């Protein structure tokens, strides 16, 4: 069975490979802002699951010659201070966020869409979001500036990482760490099971 990861995220690929999966990567290139614009009254869970599903569905067409595949799409956003935010994109936005986040907590939501695809047709799907409470440390302004200067926080949801430089500034989490990094292993196992796939069978599969 082919396991297709519909994501350019090195973090998601790394989590899956460390957990015994050899995904084929197909970047979806979904216009996330356009999807969000079409969901004016959606809850945070609805936003991240809609984005995850859009990413997974986008790559299905490439699988017409594949008899049996699993396609996984994900999307991560941080809910804090009453806002749902993705990647900061600029140093100014990252700094403004960290000045608010420091010493507080937020909820990192990751939407997951797991599709069973046979010859390019979706035979089954399972979609859900995972939520992890993140308690931020209180870095000094100088530490925040140094962190932003590395560039890392600009391209990650919520302007922080758990498993890289950002880890110095996370006091703790309540929930699944893999979901914060980019893909929840326990939730993905449950979603795979819901579409008739045992994750342990995938451990033995090749690309």
Work out which of 53, 75, 130, 176 binds ligand DGT, going by CB under 6 A: 75
Work out which of 2, 4, 11, 192 binds ligand DGT, going by CB under 6 A: 11
Work out which of 42, 122, 164, 175 binds ligand DGT, going by CB under 6 A: 164
- What's the CA gap between 30 and 86, in Å, rounded? 14
Report the candidate in 146, 185, 184, 186 with the shortest Cα–Cα distance to residue 166.
146
Q: Which is nearer to ligand DGT, 61 or 196 (CB)?
A: 61
Size of interface with ligand DGT, in residues (CB under 6 A): 21
Report the candidate in 107, 181, 102, 84 with the shortest Cα–Cα distance to residue 148.
102
Q: What would the 3-class secondary structure string for 110-179 be?
A: EEEEEEEEECCEEEEEEEEEEEEEEEECCCCHHHHHHHHHCCHHHHCHHHCCCCCHHHHHEEEEECCHHH
138 binds ligand DGT per the rule CB under 6 A: no
Shortest gap between Cβ of 204 and ligand DGT (angstroms)? 26
179 binds ligand DGT per the rule CB under 6 A: no
Shortest gap between Cβ of 67 and ligand DGT (angstroms)? 25
The yes-or-no answer on residue 171 being catalytic is no
Active-site residue, selected from the candidate residues 31, 33, 75, 124: 75
**140 - beta bridge partners?**
none
- What's the CA gap between 135 and 64, in Å, rounded? 44
Hunting for tokens 């999307």 — which residue is that?
75
Identify the burial level of 31 via C-beta atoms within 10 angstroms of its C-beta, where 0-12 means exposed, 13-18 middle and 19 or more buried.
exposed
Tell me which stretch binds ligand DGT (CB under 6 A): 118-126, 160-168, 185-193, 199-207: 160-168
7 binds ligand DGT per the rule CB under 6 A: yes
Work out which of 55, 57, 79, 95 binds ligand DGT, going by CB under 6 A: 55
Residues classed as catalytic: 75
**What is the binding site for ligand DGT (CB under 6 A)?**
7-9, 11, 27-28, 55, 74-76, 86-87, 156-157, 161-164, 180-182
């Amino acid at each position: 069975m082919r396991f297709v990861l519909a994501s350019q995220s090195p973090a998601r690929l790394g989590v899956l490979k460390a957990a015994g999966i050899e995904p084929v990567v197909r970047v979806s290139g979904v216009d996330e802002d356009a999807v969000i614009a079409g969901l004016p009254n959606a809850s945070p869970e609805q936003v991240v699951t809609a984005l995850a599903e859009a990413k997974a569905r986008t790559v299905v067409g490439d699988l017409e010659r594949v008899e049996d595949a699993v396609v996984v799409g994900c999307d991560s956003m941080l809910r804090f201070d009453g806002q749902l935010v993705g990647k900061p994109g600029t140093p100014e936005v990252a700094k403004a966020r960290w000045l608010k986040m420091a010493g507080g907590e937020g909820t990192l939501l990751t939407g997951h869409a797991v599709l069973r695809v046979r010859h390019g047709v979706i035979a089954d799907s399972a979609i859900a979001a995972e939520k992890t409470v993140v308690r931020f440390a209180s870095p000094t302004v100088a530490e925040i500036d140094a962190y932003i200067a590395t560039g890392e926080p600009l391209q990650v949801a919520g302007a922080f990482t758990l498993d890289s430089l950002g880890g110095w500034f996370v006091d703790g989490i309540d929930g699944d760490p893999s979901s914060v990094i980019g893909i929840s292993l326990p939730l993905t196992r449950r979603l795979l099971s819901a579409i008739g796939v045992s994750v342990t069978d995938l451990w033995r599969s090749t690309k």
